[in-house]
Amino acid sequence: MKPRNWSWLSAPLSGVLLVLAFPNANLWPLAWVALVPFYRALTTPLIAPMNGGVLLSSQAPTQRPFRPWGFLWAARPFQPQALQPPRSNRGGLGFWLGFTIFLTGVYWISELNGTTPADKLFPWIGLAAIQGSFFAIFAALAGWALPKLPAPIRPAAFAAGWVTFELVRSLGTLNFPWMILAVSQAHGSGLYWLQFVSIGGQWLLSFAIALVNGELAEAWQSRSKEPVYFAGIIFVSIGIWGFFTAVKFDLQDFSAHKAQASNTIAVAALQGGREASDGVPDYAPLTERAKAQLIVWPEAAAGPLIGAEWRSKYLSELAIRTKADLLIGSGEARPHTNTVWHLRPDGSTGGRYDKQVLVPGGEFFPLYEVLGPIYARFGATPEWNHVPGSKPAVFTLANGTKVGTIICYESVLPWVARQEVQQGAELLVQPTSDSSFGKTAGPYQHLGIVITRAVENRRYIVRAAATGVSAIISPEGKVIASLDLGQTGAVTGGVLPLTERSLASQIGDLVAYLCAAGSAVALVVVGRRRGSTGGQ
């Protein structure tokens, strides 16, 4: 019987387990073990039976040249060769890992555009394939280098490489850093582990999760208990530290609210329950009833204000009547911008913020000359291209509190919220729509990202989503109040302006760049060592 190789199944298995750690399943502990099958397949020699027997690990096979394109034949059965391992399929493992994660975890992409099955499937399958290609590159490099490194440092090298590719996925205008390891902890008791991001950002927690996965895989492979103990120490230590940090923050928060009631800001996040091109008729009554000092409208809820004097005048009068600071999302034209306006209680304009990070394929259309027919199928034209903002904008409320704004998709990039805090923001708001997600896991995944930003920067975040989930989030990541999908109303509560900056907001992406540097050094060392041994 021809031998079968089942190692390629490890990638889809790891992908499914990882997706289950995110909403809606919310099985957050799975993130700490999900990558074990994938890691083991990357680092275990793929050995085929030979002459009716088995090639033992003591019979070291001759190394094959590194082939980053090996993923093209990932699922091919391997032929037995004397003292030779089968052709490497590491890149293929990475492709199937990424493809599975985005096919099953980001299925909501099919809800964004189109009405026919083909229109829904194309962006869904296409995105999964594109993201799978990123993972293929990571796996090809890791699968080449990791087996040549000493076992004790392999998990750390794997973790550094994983974080490096999370960073790469967040760079450039075509970025899509969804399904980040750290964000899997942003719900349930996982919040205790999420506190770790306040030290080194999401990158540090992602590193820790990948490291634990690597240690457990090494234990499985070597039948040794020491890596299990080490992984356990990491997991338990982070959890205990996070528990006491959250409790301490809760106590400080309670004391501050009790002692500084005069400094507490009454806030309201409005939710219309539906998407509307002109939401003034929906949101004006909600604003009148909110009875808050700061009232936040969702993304693009008001329609354009520039060139619509009646709308601008009406909203200014609304601010005067409610005696509140209003942050109103608008979609401006000529040029197109995704904008938030600050209207003061006296009706004057306190400034505007234009969204800096645009959604590819939604707010701008790359390679339109080539992909024009595809865009046109979904009703998109070049005139829809938005102009990105060039700088942060921190609004000063009537009581002197400084408020930073992150609009919708900008929450996926840590630097946007961090930039606002570095500019002096004592409170963050996130106007968003999320209506395109439909009633899927998408809005809850997005909420988890925003919770991560709150903990990273130790700031309250007031989140106003057109169709949900609107929420007030505390600096330790707790959802103080919220409105679920499809509901209409206002989320209200009291928040405190905070000035102390977390370590993560000070060091920025340093952890990620250290991981990138460490990964580069590891690749160079392995390459030089390989060259000095003549490729053996």
Report the candidate in 133, 262, 156 with the shortest Cα–Cα distance to residue 518. 156
Q: What is the pLDDT of residue 60?
A: 38
How do the domains of the chain map onto residue ranges? Answer: 7-43+88-243+511-529, 265-365+374-495
pLDDT at 382: 61
pLDDT at residue 122, rounded to an integer: 80
Estimate the crossing angle of helix 117-145 against helix 510-532, to 10 degrees.
Answer: 60
Adjacent-strand bridge partners of 481: 472
Can you give the pLDDT at residue 449? 98
Q: Which helix (H) or strand (E) holds 149?
A: none
Q: Does domain 265-365+374-495 have CATH number 3.60.110.10?
A: yes
What whole-number distance in Å separates Cα of residue 54 and Cα of residue 210? 32
Contact 51, 84 (CB under 8 A): no
pLDDT at 263: 79
- Alpha-carbon span 341 to 7, nearest angstrom: 54
- Look at residue 116 in the predicted model and tell me its pLDDT: 72
C-alpha to C-alpha distance for 446 and 410, rounded to whole angstroms: 11
Helix axes 36-43 and 154-168, enclosed angle (nearest 10): 110
What pLDDT shows up at residue 534? 52
Sign of torsion, CA 106 389 206 503? negative
In the DSSP assignment, the letter for residue 483 is E
Q: Rounded CA gap, 29 and 190, in Å?
A: 7
SS3 468: coil
Q: Around Cβ 386, how many Cβ atoms within 10 Å?
A: 20
Q: C-alpha angle 479/482/484, rounded to 5°? A: 125
Per-residue tokens: 299: 């993304």
Question: Distance between CA atoms of 191 and 250, rounded to whole angstroms?
Answer: 13
pTM listed for this prediction = 0.89
- Residue 376, H or E segment: helix 368-377
- pLDDT by residue for the chain (536 residues), tens only, comes to 444 556 778 999 999 999 999 999 999 999 999 999 999 998 876 443 333 333 333 333 344 343 333 333 333 333 333 233 334 578 999 999 999 999 999 999 887 766 677 777 888 898 899 999 999 999 999 999 999 999 999 999 999 999 999 999 999 888 899 999 999 999 999 999 999 999 999 999 999 999 999 999 999 988 999 999 999 999 999 999 999 999 887 777 666 665 556 678 999 999 998 876 668 889 999 999 999 999 999 999 997 887 678 888 999 999 999 999 999 999 887 788 999 999 999 999 999 999 999 988 778 877 766 666 766 666 666 667 888 998 999 999 999 999 999 999 999 999 999 999 999 999 999 999 998 888 999 999 999 999 999 999 999 999 999 998 999 999 999 999 999 999 999 999 999 999 999 999 999 999 999 999 999 999 998 988 765 555 54
Give me Rg for the CA atoms of the chain. 25
